[in-house]
Amino acid sequence: MSSSVDNVLGNTSLDRFDVVIVGSGAGGGAAARVLATNGLKVCILEAGNNYFRGLDDPDTDMPRPLFSNDELKLSSRGLIEQQAIVEPRTFRALGAQVDRQLVGEVNNLPKTVGGGWVHADMQCPRFNDFDFHLHSELGDIAGASFADWPLDYDELEPFYAACERLQGVQGLAGADPFASRRSGPYPLPPGPPMYVDSLLRGGAERIGLHPFAFPGARNSRPYRGRPACNDCGLCSMYGCPINAKGSVAMLRDALLTGNVQLRYNAAATRLLVDSSRRRVTAVAYLDADGNPAEVSGDRFLLAASAIESARLCLLSGLGNGGLGNSSGLVGRNLMFHHQTISVGIYREDFHGERGRSVTGGFSDFRGVPNDAQRPLGGIVEFGTNSEKIQEAATYMVELGFRGAALKQFLRDRPLGAHLAALIMQGEDAPQLDNRIDLDPAVRDINGLPVPRITYGTHPFELAAREYYGPRLIDLHGAAGAQFAFVAPINEGGATPSSRHIMGTLRMGSDPRTSVTDAFCKFHDLDNLYSADGAPMPTSSGYNPTLTLQALAMRTAGAIVDPARPESVIEGDA
Amino acid sequence: MRVTRRRFLGLVGATGAAGLWWAPGCGDDDSTTQVAHFFTSDERLVVEDMAAALVPEDDLSAGALATDAVELIDRFLAAFDSDPPAIFGGGPYSGRSPFPDPRTGMPTNDYPDNDFTEMLPLTRMQELAFRILLDGDAAVTNGTINTGIVPPNPGLRAIYRDGIAALEQAAQDAGAASFGELDAEARIAAFATTTPDFRGALLQNLAEGMFAAPEYGGNRDRRGWLDYDYDGDSQPLGYTLFDADSEPFDRPDKPNQTADPNRPARPFSPEVERFLTAITAAQGGKRFF
Ligand SMILES: Cc1cc2nc3c(=O)[nH]c(=O)nc-3n(C[C@H](O)[C@H](O)[C@H](O)COP(=O)(O)OP(=O)(O)OC[C@H]3O[C@@H](n4cnc5c(N)ncnc54)[C@H](O)[C@@H]3O)c2cc1C
């Protein structure tokens, strides 16, 4: 089954496809698994390269990743990152009367087989019950476009459970008193807490909070053919050298069915439609050598991540009042998480290069809707620094130390081994005018218009920041920090630094106020679906990937069995 | 009290379980493959003299010279003179850390090969990106597609060549026969007269040269990690070991869950403490003690 053809994984002999998926990341992999295990023939187009040797090889030793504990390769030089020098994005602040204020990197996610889920640190909380009907809870908020989801938590629950089971999420049911109901325990117990986690947990408990072992899709025991995580420390921003993360677990299941052909180094450039203008017939793409190619199929799933999926629609003439966009909403309601990050400096050495980036946190600050006393914030992660080059560059490039003073910082490591971070994933209120469109002039190296991000912060996020920021500082004090402060809002003054990207193809039951329907199918097209973070009407205050995967599985399930999508999750694998 | 390299090795040797499995030399890069360089010998000297002033040696820890940080830069700028280009090392292991025993979880004497020395081939998009980064936007088709909107990019090689020339010029202007004759203070003053692009590149690349995996040419003898309390790469052993029932436990020599006795809590030096006090105040934070 294992392919020997360059730039292709899976069954190379397939040439007719029931479904074509653009993007092999978190959402695309989840959808592919449901489709392929139910016998549908799937072609996946992936813009990036493959670093999982033998991903389609059934041998139990496989895959053997080419990742490593190598900061230069993964983090500084960006092996799997979208390289902004050839694929820039542009940014302008909401309200700025200019075409753009920045050309370069704007909230990029990796381009590689497995997508952003490869270098993620795999935090996997579920959203809360009330996240699915926030508009009803909050009412109208000026300048924001909160909306209820066209489904509720209970409908998504079986898909959450399946995602956890198939990827191997570790966690402890009941440990988070604010979490919504679960149909069963986590498939794996929590792994060992990092030293920084133990200290911050103590601080959190001392000020009356409810910390817990953060759920995450990394094996804490050998599971489904993958080894247990040995806590090598270089986790966030790194592909896993031993494949203990669940990054490509579902993608591999899909490939092993024999029903999938994954073409990588293949970047989709346009969706082609028939004369009815209600059906997509093919996707045009650039192959590994940059030559144009096409693949046709019966149905099409966009899973290129919220910004790139919306860009592909716009490149295809969907949007701008055109095809597939009677609502005029393609690209709008773009959301990130508004991270409030409180930095604590401790005399303790946290040796962050041991552990798995984040092992603990709490969700007390997610709050409850309409509590006049407390705004809606987000789940909080306990983190520290594990990267040495990046730490040194902070002293050298950003802070400008030289000579003996620099040596003192390099040895004392105040912003490295002695730094603990509390990261609140604050809800980002949706706004119509926070959006991606095509930059009117800037092109990528292939000559295609790049995505332009227009974004402004809403008072909703700032209220949570103001309220919880000082509490995060106090937590550091209770945990033994010598210094603590809240880091400034934006790295580089552009968008929030979060790589949680949502919105742009909002789902809803009314075609006038949404782009996609309750099963993430485009209202205006008969065979085009969204299977990444794009359909989410609201961002919630939890890491989004498990939820976008559950949605993608449900969409794929509905393609297989529209009446009972939850009955086909397991398929035949 | 800081753990210098010698002290560090002494401590590791003292923890019985650790044995020799972290000893120097195990899995160190002994490859003799030919590597390409960019600088002329004169240029290399200027960069080294500059680096020595920016990150000097002292009694406690290596600086840019002892870590051979400039070697990494020299190789990176010549990356395309090798095939595959010397940009991304292979994986998953360096051979510095052994496999665990599947029954006990404890380290074995079985070390993997060093994959880091096997450079990975580039994709079309990666090649375009690094060609522009090193040789400038005119070096590839469509590289100048956004000219007029973004400033021209001359590439790192030209930025280094020009930066080195500017340093030599500054030395001449100061009446010195060569850049190396300037004392550290004068070298840093000369550095301040160079372009922001050169300054940013050299500082970032020196950080890489001191602390990246040794296979890229810098971080000689892992002085960048050993002298500055950093473990470096740890796979396939990692820090959590598993017993026969797959129950996890910490490594005896390098605990994950608790404080490391070899890296105890300690006060910051007065200079660092002053800085922390100032940024905490500037950000409206709190100092607790
Ligand atoms: C450092 C880091 C840590 C993170 N940690 C977490 C975490 O702990 N928990 C969490 O929930 N989230 C985390 N995230 C976010 C997470 O990575 C994303 O939410 C998730 O990957 C999004 O899934 P997706 O399917 O929408 O897109 P992706 O996973 O990004 O997949 C999209 C895929 O589409 C491909 N693609 C794009 N354009 C095209 C095209 N034109 N043609 C073909 N293919 C294309 C891309 O190459 C990519 O492989 C993290 C992100 C980063 C950067």
Is the per-residue pLDDT at A74 higher than 60? yes
Do residues A391 and A385 make contact, with C-beta atoms less than 8 angstroms apart?
yes
Res B29 pLDDT > 50: no
Q: Do A406 and B246 touch (CB under 8 A)?
A: no
- How high is the pLDDT of residue A492? 45
Question: Among partner residues B115, B257, B286, which is closest to A484 by beta-carbon distance?
Answer: B286
Burial class (CB within 10 angstroms; exposed 0-12, middle 13-18, buried 19+) of A278: middle
Q: What is the DSSP string of B82-99?
A: SSS-TTS---S--SSSPP
Residue A344's φ and ψ, nearest 5 degrees, are: -115, 140
Rounded to the nearest integer, the mean pLDDT of chain A is 95
Q: Is B240 on the interface with A (CB under 8 A)?
A: yes
For B210, the enclosing helix (H) or strand (E) is helix B196-211
Q: What is the pLDDT of residue A318?
A: 81
Contact present, A533 and A306 (Cβ < 8 Å): yes
* Residue bearing tokens 């075609």: A511
Spell out a b/e string for A299-329, using b for 16 or more CB atoms within 10 Å of the CB, else e.
bbbbbbbbbbbbbbbbbbebbeebbbbebeb
Q: So what's the pLDDT on residue A319?
A: 63
Inter-chain touch A351–B132, beta carbons under 8 Å: no
Distance of alpha carbon A211 from alpha carbon A199, whole angstroms: 11
Cβ contact A195–B56 (<8 Å): no
What lies within 8 Å, CB to CB, of B232 at 6+ separation is: A69, A353, B96, B213, B222, B225
Q: How many residues does chain B have?
A: 289
**Contact at CB, A69 and B233, closer than 8 angstroms:** yes
What average pLDDT does this structure show over A162-171?
98
Helical segments of B2-123, H only: 5-14, 41-54, 69-77
Residues of B (144-163) whose Cβ lies below 8 Å from A: 145-146, 149-150, 153
DSSP designation for A494: S
Residue of B nearest to A6 (CA): B123
For chain A positions 94-113, those within 8 Å of chain B (CB to CB) are 103, 111
C-alpha distances in angstroms, A301 versus A31, A282, A529? 9, 11, 5
Q: Which of A80, A305, A491, A539 to mutate to test the pocket of ligand 1 (most atoms within 8 A of CB)?
A: A305
To probe the interface with B, which of A407, A422, A489 has the most B CB atoms within 10 Å?
A: A407
- In the DSSP assignment, the letter for residue A201 is H
**Cβ within 8 Å, pair B233-A70:** yes
B280 neighbourhood in chain A, CB within 8 Å: 345, 483-485
In the structure, what pLDDT confidence band is assigned to residue B164 with cuts at 50, 70 and 90? very high
DSSP string, B174-203: TT-SSGGGS-HHHHHHHHHTS-HHHHHHHH
Band of pLDDT at residue B7, cut at 50, 70 and 90? very low
Q: What distance in Å separates the CA atoms of residue A451 and residue B212, rounded to the nearest whole number? A: 33
End-to-end Cα spacing for chain B:
21
Cis, peptide link before residue B92, omega less than 30° from 0:
yes
Asked whether the beta carbons of residue A66 and residue B284 sit closer than 8 angstroms, the reply is no
> Measured between CB atoms, does A441 come within 8 Å of chain B?
yes
User: Atom 1 (ligand 1): residue with closest C-alpha?
Assistant: A237
Residue A368 contacts B, CB cutoff 8 Å: no
CB of A367 within 6 A of ligand 1: the answer is no
In this structure, which residue's CA is closest to atom 3 in ligand 1? A120
**Residue in B closest to A191 by C-alpha:** B248
Helix axes B184-192, B41-54, angle to 10 degrees: 100
d(CA B257, CA A198) in angstroms, rounded, equals 8
Residue A44: which H helix or E strand, with range? strand A42-46
Whole-angstrom distance, CA of residue B136 vs CA of residue B158: 8
**What share of chain A has pLDDT > 90, as a percent?**
92
H helices of B61-150, where?
69-77, 124-135
Residues counted in chain A: 573
Closest CA in chain A for residue B147: A442
User: In chain A, where are the structural domains located?
Assistant: 8-568
| Count of beta carbons in the 10 Å neighbourhood of residue B227 | 23
Instruction: Measure in Å the smallest separation between the Cα of B20 and chain A Cα atoms.
Output: 20
Minimal-distance CA residue to ligand 1 atom 31? A25
Ligand 1, pocket-test mutation among A45, A75, A109, most atoms within 8 A of CB: A109
- Per-residue pLDDT for B32 more than 60? no
| Alpha-carbon gap, residue A311 to A437, rounded angstroms | 7
CATH 3.50.50.60 fits A8-568, yes or no: yes
User: Could you tell me the CA-to-CA distances from B65 to B55, B56, B160, B215 in Å, in that order?
Assistant: 8, 8, 18, 17
Give the single-character DSSP code of A72. I
Q: Which helix (H) or strand (E) holds B246?
A: none
Q: Evaluate: CB of A539 within 6 angstroms of ligand 1.
A: no
Q: What is the pLDDT of residues B204-260, one digit of tens each?
A: 999 999 999 999 999 999 999 999 999 999 999 999 999 999 999 999 999 999 999
CA-angle at A331, arms to A329 and A335, nearest 5°: 105
- Residues paired with A343 in a beta bridge: A421, A485
Interface of B with A in 168-207 (CB under 8 A): 184, 188, 191, 200, 203-204, 206-207
Quick: pLDDT tens for B113-154.
Answer: 999 999 999 999 999 999 999 999 999 999 999 999 999 999
Task: Give the confidence band of B50 by pLDDT, cuts at 50, 70, 90.
Answer: very high
Report CA-CA distances (Å) from B214 to A23, A311, A431, A444, B208.
35, 41, 48, 34, 10
CA angle (B260 as vertex; B256, B262 as ends), nearest 5: 140
- Is B213 in contact with B232 (CB distance < 8 Å)? yes
Q: How many CB atoms lie within 10 A of CB A432?
A: 14
d(CA B172, CA A363): 62
CA A513 to chain centre: 25
Q: What does pTM read for this prediction?
A: 0.95
> Does the C-beta of A116 come closer than 6 Å to ligand 1?
yes
**Minimum mean pLDDT range among A174-188, A367-381, A540-554, B59-73:** A367-381
Write out pLDDT tens, residues A75-109. Answer: 999 999 999 999 999 999 999 999 999 999 999 99
Q: Which numbered atom of ligand 1 lies nearest the CA of A266?
A: 43
Q: Is residue A181 within 8 Å of A173, Cβ to Cβ?
A: no
Beta bridge mates, A103:
A90
Residue A327 vs residues A67, A320, A515, B8: alpha-carbon distances, Å: 43, 10, 6, 65
Minimal CA separation from A168 to chain B, in Å: 15
CB contact under 8 A, A231 and B239: yes
How much is the pLDDT for A246? 98
Decide: A356 in ligand 1 pocket, CB within 6 A: no
pLDDT tens for A514-538 read 999 999 999 999 999 999 999 999 9
Interfacial A residues in 521-550 facing B (CB < 8 Å): none
CA-CA distance, B172 to B182, in Å (whole number)?
10
Contact A239, A80 (CB under 8 A): yes
CB A392 within 8 A of CB A410: yes
B145 and A443: CB-CB below 8 Å? yes
- How close B97 gets to chain A, by Cα (Å)? 11
Asked whether the beta carbons of residue A412 and residue B272 sit closer than 8 angstroms, the reply is: yes
Q: What percent of chain A is modeled with pLDDT above 70?
A: 98
Site from A286, A483, A489 to mutate, B interface, most B CB atoms within 10 angstroms: A483
Q: Which tens digits make up the pLDDT trace of A277-312?
A: 899 999 999 999 999 999 999 999 999 999 999 999
Does residue A308 line the site of ligand 1, with CB under 6 A?
yes
- How far, in Å, is the centroid of ligand 1 from the Cα of A171? 22
Residue A56 has pLDDT above 50, yes or no: yes
pLDDT tens across A326-366, in order? 789 999 999 999 999 999 999 999 999 999 999 999 999 99
> Phi/psi of residue A424, each to 5°?
-95, 125
Two tokens, residue A25: 């990341």
Contact (CB, 8 A) for A140 and A529: no
Mean pLDDT of chain B: 90
Q: B208: part of which helix (H) or strand (E)?
A: helix B196-211
Q: Which of A191, A241, A488 sits opposite B240 (nearest CB)?
A: A191
- Residue A489 pLDDT: 82
Residue A183 burial class via C-beta count within 10 angstroms: exposed 0-12, middle 13-18, buried 19 and up: exposed
A66–B235: do the CB atoms touch at under 8 Å?
no
Decide if pLDDT at A561 tops 80. yes
CA dist., res. B2 & res. A556, Å (int): 57
| Percent with pLDDT over 70 in chain B | 89
Q: A398 CB near a chain B CB, below 8 Å?
A: no
User: What's the pLDDT at A520?
Assistant: 98
Nearest-CA distance B28 → chain A (Å):
15
Residue of the CA atom closest to atom 52 of ligand 1: A120
Question: Atom 48 (ligand 1): residue with closest C-alpha?
Answer: A115
Instruction: Please return the burial class of A572, using the count of CB atoms within 10 Å of its CB with bins 0-12, 13-18 and 19+.
Output: exposed
Please indicate if any CB of chain A lies within 8 Å of the CB of B209.
Answer: no
**Helix or strand or coil: residue A278?**
coil
Percent of chain B with pLDDT over 90: 88
- Residue A381 CA to residue B57 CA, distance in Å, equals 38
> In whole angstroms, what is the distance from residue A218 CA to residue A65 CA?
15
